[in-house]
Amino acid sequence: LTAAVVKVIGVSTYYPHPIGWHGLIGGAIFGFGIVFAGGCASGSLYKSGEGNIGSMLVLLSISFTQAIYVTQGGWFNNLVPASWTASAIAKDMPAELTITDGWFDQFMAGYVWDLKSSSLANTLGFDGVASGAFIGDALLCAILPALLILTLLYSIYYRKGYLRRKKIDSPGITEHLRGIWSMLTASRNTAIAGLGLGIFAGLHMWVIGELRNHYNIFNFGELLADMGHRTGLSIQDTVFDPGYWYITTQEAQWGGWLMHKLGAQNMDNIFFGLENGLPNPLINAPGWMSIGIILGAASIALVRREFKWKVPSLETAVFALLGGALMGLGARIALGCNIGAFFAAVTNGDPSGWVFLAGMTAGAYLGVKAFSRWLDWRVSREGIVI
């Protein structure tokens, strides 16, 4: 609803993602990685703030692997369909980019850019801005599907236990609605935090949009250039600056920036060279959103005396690195993580978010099955009796 308000007043910075198989496959890889990493991209941030070294390894892995994935050419070019290469060449890209030497560049220019993207309101033909934002985008794309999922979760996992605890033998619609409400508010802190997150995420978009309009600025790179900080800007004098909550791209920038400082030539591609740049992390505005999550989690943990350094075992550390690498790959293919490709998408009326969720759910299911098989193998190998 806050996203709808922001759209109606004309300061939304969100643009719908293209819908295609990449969202499903990328979501599946991301979801599979979540299981081994022990949490998603945002989870690795707040857990790092609480002193979880395993989550710090996830953060390290997801940052550097993304930076590596988007620059890989050579043998990986053999995996690229010829149609992607031809389409990428036809777009007459700047000479600074080696557009045909890199699977990700050809994936973007030869496939993703050829797809159509649209909000649900535009797809359904809503004429009015308000009706499109509140009915097409908020109600039909976000609220009703979310209610349907909650109803399914209640029916499958919560209903029997709730009715048994309340000693209700013949429930009506009122009792079921109370049961769904009970499920939603079972964790009061989580419910309040979720409500606050939705409101503040919308307010963040509103503030950024108003500031852009007031100062006639489209991208933070313009400000950096005006202040003399041109190092790390893309060839368009831009940096990654979505204007709403995002996570994985700025993490890729962290890894890419350090690799660049160590001598890697990684500015000749679409991801860094054309679109997102590699600004110093100290002046990377979206990066400070992620740093803020870490610092905020650390502050709360310290205040509540819950901060504790948690050192992972070797096995857990390996899984953290593997999970982070898989999440990084999935995020690049899907063009975002559970935040940018799902939450930010569906709340802004972008149906591509539900495609990502379907893939992420399937991937997480397969990840749980794979992890369970690993545990069974370990038990049988070590003769552990459970």
Report residue 212 CA to chain centroid gap. 23
- Please give the single-letter amino acid code of residue 244: Y
Tell me how far apart the alpha carbons of residues 360 and 29 are, in angstroms, rounded to a whole number: 7
- Asked whether the beta carbons of 80 and 103 are under 8 A apart, the reply is yes
What CA–CA distances, in Å, run from 277 to 188, 238, 266? 41, 7, 10
- Please give the single-letter amino acid code of residue 305: R
Tell me how far apart the alpha carbons of residues 369 and 32 are, in angstroms, rounded to a whole number: 10
Q: What φ, ψ does residue 310 adopt, rounded to 5°?
A: -115, 105
Which residues, in sequence order, are bridge partners of residue 310? 52
Tell me how far apart the alpha carbons of residues 344 and 128 are, in angstroms, rounded to a whole number: 22
DSSP SS3 for 218 = coil
Tell me how far apart the alpha carbons of residues 7 and 241 are, in angstroms, rounded to a whole number: 18
Tell me how far apart the alpha carbons of residues 259 and 169 are, in angstroms, rounded to a whole number: 63
pLDDT at 204: 87
pLDDT at 12: 86
Instruction: DSSP for 125-176, please give it.
Output: T--SHHHIIIIIIIIIIIIHHHHHHHHHHIIIIIHHHHHHHHT-SS--HHHH
- Asked whether the beta carbons of 68 and 354 are under 8 A apart, the reply is no
Tell me how far apart the alpha carbons of residues 147 and 140 are, in angstroms, rounded to a whole number: 11
Residues 6+ apart with CB under 8 A from 9: 206
DSSP SS3 for 43 = helix
- Asked whether the beta carbons of 104 and 78 are under 8 A apart, the reply is no
Tell me how far apart the alpha carbons of residues 149 and 173 are, in angstroms, rounded to a whole number: 17
Report residue 8 CA to chain centroid gap. 25
Residue located via tokens 């690795």: 44
Give every residue of the chain whose pLDDT is below 70, as ranges: 383-386
Q: What is the largest CA-CA distance in the chain?
A: 72
What totals of helices (H) and strands (E) does the chain contain, helices first?
A: 18, 0
Count CB atoms within 10 A of the CB of residue 129. 14
CA atoms 284, 289, 292, 294: torsion sign: negative
- Cα three-residue angle 24-70-346, rounded to 5 degrees: 35
pLDDT at 385: 55
pLDDT at 318: 96
pLDDT at 149: 93
pLDDT at 384: 60
pLDDT at 324: 96
Tell me how far apart the alpha carbons of residues 22 and 24 are, in angstroms, rounded to a whole number: 5
Dihedral of the alpha carbons of 179, 180, 184, 185, in degrees to the nearest 10: -30
Tell me how far apart the alpha carbons of residues 304 and 299 are, in angstroms, rounded to a whole number: 9
pTM above 0.85, yes or no: yes
Say how many CA atoms lie within 13 Å of 268 toward its Cβ: 12
